[in-house]
Amino acid sequence: MKKLITLALVSLSTISLTACVIKPVSKNDSSSSEAKMEQKTSASSKESLSTGYKNALEQAKYYLEIFPSSKEGLKKKLIESEEFSKDEVQAAIDEITDEVDWKANAVKKAETYLKTVHFSKYKLLSHLSGYEKFTQEEAAYAVEHVKADWNLQALEKARDFRKYGNRSPEEIKKRLVEFEYFTEQEANYAIEHLDQ
């Protein structure tokens, strides 16, 4: 306790001495004084960001190695799951933006989805840009460059409908076209191969 009181007194003494030494500012000195103050504030902001920023940057790089993400999706994950500040996350994202191929990430994410979810082109585009927060351009690039057999995607979705809903082929085809946005040709392929 004595050490804390001594430390507090020393701090107060230092502040008092500093206040006595500060010279008054004339009108001519005020602009240079304000500029110096802004520099000090900016430097202290960067210092306070530095640890959080470095951790956010490290975490962002880690996530991108494991989970192909959009820029906005990565920001959300770092802020909400990892609880970094918006400024720390923005600084980290700004640092890696030129290093990351966001379109390639969109393609990787599309490939991941198509292995399990079975989307039509439209549904995949919608999911990538809506839920995953890729830009419209990145999502469109992914849909055009992902290696997918859309007929097989329709067939797998039709099998899911049959397995979990016990629907007739006509009902399945209607769902494929009207709700899942497969083309008529893709839906026909799925119905023709449903029992194979």
Q: Is the pLDDT of residue 53 over 80?
A: yes
At 194, the pLDDT band (50, 70, 90 cuts) reads very high
In the chain, list all ranges with CATH 1.10.10.10: 150-192
Question: Mean of the pLDDT values across residues 124-133?
Answer: 98
Backbone angles phi, psi at 8, to 5 degrees: -65, -40
In one letter, which amino acid is 35? A
| The two structure tokens encoding residue 115 | 């292995």
In one letter, which amino acid is 151? N
Tell me the pLDDT of the chain averaged across its residues.
82
> CA-CA distance, 15 to 1, in Å (whole number)?
21
What totals of helices (H) and strands (E) does the chain contain, helices first? 10, 0
> Looking at the domain covering 150-192, what would its CATH class be?
mainly alpha
- pLDDT the model gives residue 166: 81
Task: Give the closest residue to 127 by CA, choosing from 70, 171, 189.
Answer: 70
Q: Is the pLDDT of residue 157 over 90?
A: yes
- % pLDDT > 70, the chain: 75
> CA-CA distance, 104 to 97, in Å (whole number)?
13
CATH topology for the 45-100 domain: Arc Repressor Mutant, subunit A (1.10.10)
pTM of the predicted model as reported, rounded to 2 decimal places? 0.72
